[in-house]
Structure 1
Amino acid sequence: MKVNDVVTYEVEGPIAVITAHSPPVNALSSAVRQGIAGAVQTALGDGSVGAMVLICEGRTFFAGADITEFGKPPVEPTLRNLQLIVENATKPVIAAIHGTALGGGLELALVAHYRIAVPSAKCGLPEVKLGLLPGAGGTQRLPRIVGIEKALDLTTSGAPVGARAAKEMGLVDELAQGDLRADAIAFARRVLEEKRPLLKVRDRTEKLDEARGKPEIFANFRKANARKFRGFKAPEHIIRCVEATLEKSFDEGMVYERQLFNELQSDSQSAAQRHVFFAERQAAKVLGLAADTPTLPIAKVGVIGAGTMGGGIAMNFANAGIPVTIVEAKQEALDRGLGIIRGNYESTAKKGRMKAEDVDTRMGLLTGSVAMEDLADCDLIIEAVFENLDVKREVFGTLDAIARPGAILATNTSYLDIDDIAAATERPESVCGLHFFSPANVMKLLEVVRTKDTSPEIVVTAMKLAKTIGKIGVLVGNGFGFVGNRILAARNAQADRLVLEGATPWTVDRVLYDFGFAMGHFQMRDLVGLDVGWNRETTSSANVREILNEMGRHGQKTKGGYYDYDDNRKQTPSPIAMQVIEDFAAKQGIERRAVSDDEIHDRILFAMVNEGARILDEGIAARASDIDIVWVTGYGWPKYRGGPMFWGDLQGLPTVLEKLKTLEAAHGEAFTPSPLIERLAAEGKGFRDA
């Protein structure tokens, strides 16, 4: 019978089967919670029923709480109250798990008296990824069933664990061998026949006893993960909750968990991480195109250039099982590039991240050539040659004569005008930008650049392809630097100016590191290489970076850039670079002065927000959240700060506008407020409304 629209109740012999079906992921919405509560009460009042099976239809067990309800008035039963109903049931409840039991879904399974799962199922508590902690007893029950150390790993990483591993650690009691429903009912019958007790996880202490008197477990865990957890509040709150399982009673621990959960839920970090979660999903949705726009088949890919970028791009497709033809101008360069790719794969295999036989399988998907004509049968051709407009136009002119009709012609340019590149062909509608980030086989971001002529079919194909090769695709418009590098250029300008006016590169880097970036601006430049985009033939000592390059200081790879590096690439501030900066400032007539951390913070960050607003106003980005995803995914903006546009909204646009006007008066037109900021501030709106 139907309990409500999303929960049904059936009886098979002595077993009541409570089935939820709330697509797409059986989130624990108020309707689902009400339905389960009603079904349990029905079973408890049915004298013919001895035990209950809680199961889901569709592709998964309960995949978590309904996060659209966050911040809204609670609807009874809350998840915690539903758990009490299940946990205190006087008849055994067996959770039958398939797909994923995540977050609140796993927390609900933990109050069942027994758990059975199909071997392919996964269980996890991913709340940390939203800046939260498991708020329905996850931090208190999980340690009691799997132990302190495993609980710390699972709750602070948010990573799911497979059903077989879950069985080994005690999280799951049985693995289904066939049909989950039938096996769960059979398991429930055995529980009754064997008169097994009503096991409550909350009452178990054996795994906790193993850790008592061992405070080093927590000290060592904090130390081992200090770098990964830096800046994030949720992991430390989770660790404290797990510690509480050894120091407090279960009920006291639940109160403590709720207190720390509420702290996180009301904090800007969780709001930022939830924003990123939804923004990433929104980025995949292309605005303004018909839902039935067809995609084009991509069965074979060509890559022009076997250098660092071209090789990394090729690896993405080989990893996805798509054959790639790599073309280089000279055999020597081709052999070197293929050798580096093989070395990368072999290194991955040695670390246990892929099987040794997979190295040959993936290399077998790569074909090297020195003839452009060998790209004639490719469905997609990506150019990854030197960042020079004339060179790229020449390549596309050649491709136009070679590529088959309907093939996608893509450029990996970082800054150049793709409309201009497309004009070298007779098929500009087939041209788009696929801007990968270095190292291309590692970095998740892919800017898909649409020109004024790019066809809708190619746009949707490119966005789908991003997902196929494991990237987060963000659709952007054609313009200098697109989204990511255009904002980076604004940051570059301020960072360069600040060091001329009196700041040191390491002070600028420290301010950005303290804000939450994994590394500072000048550290990043040294890592990437100061010579990227620099031309020895045309260099003219026009700025500090050019002078350092002319001196052979290209960054980490030459043991000197803005910093000096030892053989282990350990950095120290470089007096040579500092002298170059001071001499150049003197030559430019710039009088150096003391520059405060606050000035560095404001000039760099508000310049970035202002440039993002211009990008949004010009339509280069469709949504403010798309800009945030570009910077969080591709440039290391700290996830717990949500991206530059979210951060701007958090400051309040009237505050942003006032800051920009103050900076404009002191430092010039680089800070002239974007008209969009002025309009939104006047209307009491934020970037999220644009």
Structure 2
Amino acid sequence: MQLTESVRLERRDDVALLIVNNPPVNALSYHVRQGLIDGMAAAEASDATAIVLICDGRTFIAGADITEFSQPPKPPGLVPGQEAMEDCSKPVVAAIHGTALGGGLEVALCAHFRVAVNSAQFGLPEVKLGLLPGGGGTQRLPRITGPQRALEIMVSGDPIGAAEALDCGLINEIVGDSLADLEAGAVAFARRAVAEGMPRPRIRDRNDRLEGFGAEQFAAFRASIARRTRGFEAADCIVRCVEAAVETGSSGDFEAGLAAEQRIFGELMGSSQANAQQYYFFAERAAQKVPDVPRDTPQVDIGRVGILGAGTMGGGIAMNFANIGIPVTLVERDEASLERGLGVVRRNYERTAARGGISSDDVQTRMDLLQGSTDMGDFADCDLMIEAVFENMDLKKDVFAQLDGICKPGAVLATNTSALNVNEIASATSRPEDVIGMHFFSPANVMRMLEVVRGDDTSHTAIATAMSIGKRIGKTPVLCGVCYGFIGNRMLFMRGIEAEKMLLEGATPAQIDKVVYDFGFPMGPFAMSDLAGLDVGWNEATSSSSTVREVLCESGRRGQKNGRGYYTYDPDTRASTPDPEVEQMIRDFAAERGAVLRDVADQEILERCLYPMVNEGAKILDEGIALRGSDVDVTWINGYGWPIYTGGPMYWADEIGLGEVLGRIRHYDETLGGDHWTPSPLLERLAAEGGSLARHEI
């Protein structure tokens, strides 16, 4: 029986199957919500003894319908279908494959029982949209998993697997691997529930798991998440909802808990943070689309990857491919460097295993995929070749000239350069169409960002291959054109110029870093320089004391690596402390240049750090380096820690008002000067027209 265009009712003898079919992810559209209501009514009125809720296609209900995000709510809502499941007089079994996320999991929590295949994933990811689960998830999940585990699931927004779901009580049984296994297992479980007279527990009535979790435990949880949720409103709102669940659990007033959830959800819905995070949700998906590269563009089948350089970057890149089972040929200049690099990779995997991220068997499985060599000739059978050598143009051109004669025809030749001209690198080969930039961010095995740099001659196949493999290894690829520094580093350089200038005007490294940190970045520019190493790119032979950084390097300060940089570092904890000696060195450096020191206000620091980046981002857009303003935001959120709850630099500027931003840029252009303060023509035009940087596309 077809109930709505997305839901039908079938029978397997004595068991009714309520089947959702709303491709591609069975989202909770209007037709699905109405179908759940109609289907439960029809099934309960029939002579079926039990009901199984199951989905066609690749997944269970994977969450809300994103096409409805910007529309007024269309009744019916989710609650009538949930109540029909909970209050049903017959056993209701939710059969789960793929992902049960957000509203999908909140529906499943209203079934009396839940079974799943081994590969199923479960989660409530609303926090990543600046929201909280608003379909009863904050009230039901703690009642079945306990508050601690529920808080961890909801505040992280990350899914858990079937084994963990079984362990914490979220599901009742794992029933195989395939969709056929799932249907058979769910029907068998439903019949067993009837035959054995299993109680039909409503999660809303279960309060035993809430006992013993009180103010002390909530305070401890808040302390444990304080650093990673700093600045996020949704995380604490979720904790408040679970506090309401515990409080109403003791009184037995579940409806009061639901009311609290709805009230707190209302605080977030339409908030600036929720709007920014939902903008980012769509921005990340838009970044995958390259207008002039058709979706059916042929791609190179990546059977083996070659990486030249087994240092910090090369080893980290190699891990990404080993993690998904792709063999890697890792080449270094000598055996000692190779062994050192492979040793670092092994230790990284062992640390992950020690934390429970992978098994000890996984460590060896992944290491076995890494073939070390000192012979570049071993790259001959690689389908994708990634160069990760020192950032020097002559060296890179020499490497690519050699690869041109080694790598097989059609192999994609990628450079990991963070700033250099990909066209010039490609000119060293006879096949520039195969050359592309793949700029991984450090540490490459952790950071999600991947800038894919398109040269003048780069083929559609090379672009499609790089974007696709980037996504497969868990990165967020963004396509950009050739310029010095691409999107991210080009903008970062502008922040660095102003940060250095403000040191010579009276601001301290700690003051500047605190302003940037308080805005929401994980660290400020000088702490970041210390972390990366002050001597990266510094040449002692040519150093001329022309910048504060050069002066620090010349005095033996290298950053965190030797405990002395802009800050001093505790050798055990790596905690940083402002260094009076450094501040005096800066004052002396400023005096030598005739600078007059003054008090620099925090607001000025914020503007001078961020507005040049906005201006440069607009120039990058105007030059066609980035395809769209949202790509700039995706780059900065994933690559540099721009706080996602402000949407990224382009979105943030839009929210302030482009006229206001342009006015301040003009002010600094007049008072400070410098090319980086020259207003972008695009910014001027959009400000005049009432346009948007974030939504600008070339």
TM-score range, shorter chain: over 0.9
Q: Deviations over 1:616-659 (max 9, x none)?
A: 11111111111111111111111212211121122122222222
Cα distance change of structure 1 residues 92 and 326 upon mapping to structure 2, 3 Å threshold: closer
Cα distance change of structure 1 residues 644 and 375 upon mapping to structure 2, 3 Å threshold: same
Is contact 1:530–1:561 with CA below 8 Å preserved after alignment? yes
> Residue 36 of structure 1 corresponds to which residue in structure 2?
36
> Residue 22 of structure 1 corresponds to which residue in structure 2?
22
Amino acid at match of 1:686: S
> Residue 464 of structure 1 corresponds to which residue in structure 2?
468
Query: Shift of residue 210 of structure 1?
Result: 4.0
Q: Deviations over 1:66-117 (max 9, x none)?
A: 1332242211110123323333334443222222211111111122233232
> Residue 287 of structure 1 corresponds to which residue in structure 2?
291
Is contact 2:19–2:56 with CA below 8 Å preserved after alignment? yes
Is contact 2:25–2:59 with CA below 8 Å preserved after alignment? yes
Q: Tell me the SS of whatever aligns to 1:202.
A: helix
| Bigger Cα displacement from structure 2, 352-361 vs 73-82 | 352-361
Q: Percent identity?
A: 55
| Bigger Cα displacement from structure 2, 546-555 vs 153-162 | 153-162
Query: Shift of residue 497 of structure 1?
Result: 0.9
User: How is 1:560-599 mapped onto 2 (pairs within 5 angstroms)?
Assistant: 560-568=564-572, 569-599=574-604
Cα distance change of structure 1 residues 366 and 116 upon mapping to structure 2, 3 Å threshold: closer
Task: Work out the CA distance in 2 between the residues paired with 1:360 and 1:172.
Answer: 32
Is contact 2:628–2:695 with CA below 8 Å preserved after alignment? no
| Bigger Cα displacement from structure 2, 141-150 vs 401-410 | 401-410
Task: Work out the CA distance in 1 between the residues paired with 2:52 and 2:330.
Answer: 55
> Residue 105 of structure 2 corresponds to which residue in structure 1?
106
Cα distance change of structure 1 residues 310 and 190 upon mapping to structure 2, 3 Å threshold: closer
Q: Tell me the SS of whatever aligns to 2:11.
A: strand
Task: Work out the CA distance in 1 between the residues paired with 2:165 and 2:430.
Answer: 58
1:394 paired with 2:398, answer: yes
Task: Work out the CA distance in 2 between the residues paired with 1:300 and 1:481.
Answer: 29
Task: Work out the CA distance in 2 between the residues paired with 1:360 and 1:120.
Answer: 23
Gaps of 5+ in 1: none
Q: Deviations over 1:495-523 (max 9, x none)?
A: 11111111111001001111111111100
1:354 paired with 2:353, answer: no
How many pairs were matched up?
687
Q: Tell me the SS of whatever aligns to 2:526.
A: helix
Q: Tell me the SS of whatever aligns to 1:433.
A: strand
1:97 paired with 2:96, answer: yes
> Residue 117 of structure 1 corresponds to which residue in structure 2?
116
Task: Work out the CA distance in 1 between the residues paired with 2:372 and 2:39.
Answer: 63
Query: Shift of residue 330 of structure 1?
Result: 3.5
Is contact 1:652–1:686 with CA below 8 Å preserved after alignment? no
Amino acid at match of 2:587: E
| Bigger Cα displacement from structure 2, 612-621 vs 48-57 | 48-57
Cα distance change of structure 1 residues 355 and 167 upon mapping to structure 2, 3 Å threshold: closer
1:374 paired with 2:378, answer: yes
Task: Work out the CA distance in 2 between the residues paired with 1:595 and 1:108.
Answer: 54
Task: Work out the CA distance in 2 between the residues paired with 1:366 and 1:114.
Answer: 44
> Residue 232 of structure 1 corresponds to which residue in structure 2?
232
Task: Work out the CA distance in 2 between the residues paired with 1:200 and 1:342.
Answer: 47
Query: Shift of residue 173 of structure 1?
Result: 3.0
Task: Work out the CA distance in 2 between the residues paired with 1:368 and 1:174.
Answer: 44
Cα distance change of structure 1 residues 257 and 398 upon mapping to structure 2, 3 Å threshold: same
Query: Shift of residue 230 of structure 1?
Result: 1.1
1:76 paired with 2:75, answer: yes
1:671 paired with 2:698, answer: no
Q: Tell me the SS of whatever aligns to 1:376.
A: helix
Amino acid at match of 1:311: G
| Bigger Cα displacement from structure 2, 113-122 vs 68-77 | 113-122
> Residue 341 of structure 1 corresponds to which residue in structure 2?
345
Task: Work out the CA distance in 1 between the residues paired with 2:174 and 2:342.
Answer: 44
> Residue 181 of structure 2 corresponds to which residue in structure 1?
179
Cα distance change of structure 1 residues 401 and 15 upon mapping to structure 2, 3 Å threshold: closer
Gaps of 5+ in 2: none
Q: Tell me the SS of whatever aligns to 2:615.
A: helix
1:609 paired with 2:614, answer: yes
1:2 paired with 2:2, answer: yes
> Residue 207 of structure 1 corresponds to which residue in structure 2?
209
Q: Tell me the SS of whatever aligns to 1:474.
A: strand
Amino acid at match of 1:463: M
> Structure 2 residue aligned with 1:250, among 229, 248, 254?
254
Cα distance change of structure 1 residues 335 and 123 upon mapping to structure 2, 3 Å threshold: closer
Is contact 2:125–2:158 with CA below 8 Å preserved after alignment? yes
| Bigger Cα displacement from structure 2, 652-661 vs 565-574 | 652-661
Cα distance change of structure 1 residues 105 and 346 upon mapping to structure 2, 3 Å threshold: closer
Task: Work out the CA distance in 1 between the residues paired with 2:111 and 2:392.
Answer: 63
Query: Shift of residue 148 of structure 1?
Result: 1.8
Amino acid at match of 2:203: V
Amino acid at match of 2:114: R
Cα distance change of structure 1 residues 340 and 202 upon mapping to structure 2, 3 Å threshold: closer
User: How is 1:307-322 mapped onto 2 (pairs within 5 angstroms)?
Assistant: 307-322=311-326
Q: Deviations over 1:373-400 (max 9, x none)?
A: 3333332222222212222222222322
Task: Work out the CA distance in 2 between the residues paired with 1:627 and 1:67.
Answer: 23
Cα distance change of structure 1 residues 98 and 368 upon mapping to structure 2, 3 Å threshold: closer
Cα distance change of structure 1 residues 441 and 185 upon mapping to structure 2, 3 Å threshold: closer
Amino acid at match of 2:71: K
Cα distance change of structure 1 residues 203 and 365 upon mapping to structure 2, 3 Å threshold: closer
Is contact 1:516–1:638 with CA below 8 Å preserved after alignment? yes
Amino acid at match of 2:167: E
| Bigger Cα displacement from structure 2, 56-65 vs 399-408 | 399-408
| Bigger Cα displacement from structure 2, 599-608 vs 565-574 | 565-574
1:650 paired with 2:655, answer: yes
Q: TM-score, normalised by structure 1?
A: 0.95
Cα distance change of structure 1 residues 328 and 43 upon mapping to structure 2, 3 Å threshold: closer
> Structure 1 residue aligned with 2:559, among 540, 555, 564?
555
Query: Shift of residue 198 of structure 1?
Result: 4.5
Amino acid at match of 1:39: G
| Bigger Cα displacement from structure 2, 485-494 vs 195-204 | 195-204
> Residue 686 of structure 2 corresponds to which residue in structure 1?
680
Is contact 1:129–1:273 with CA below 8 Å preserved after alignment? yes
Task: Work out the CA distance in 1 between the residues paired with 2:317 and 2:532.
Answer: 17
Q: TM-score, normalised by structure 2?
A: 0.94
Q: Tell me the SS of whatever aligns to 2:316.
A: helix
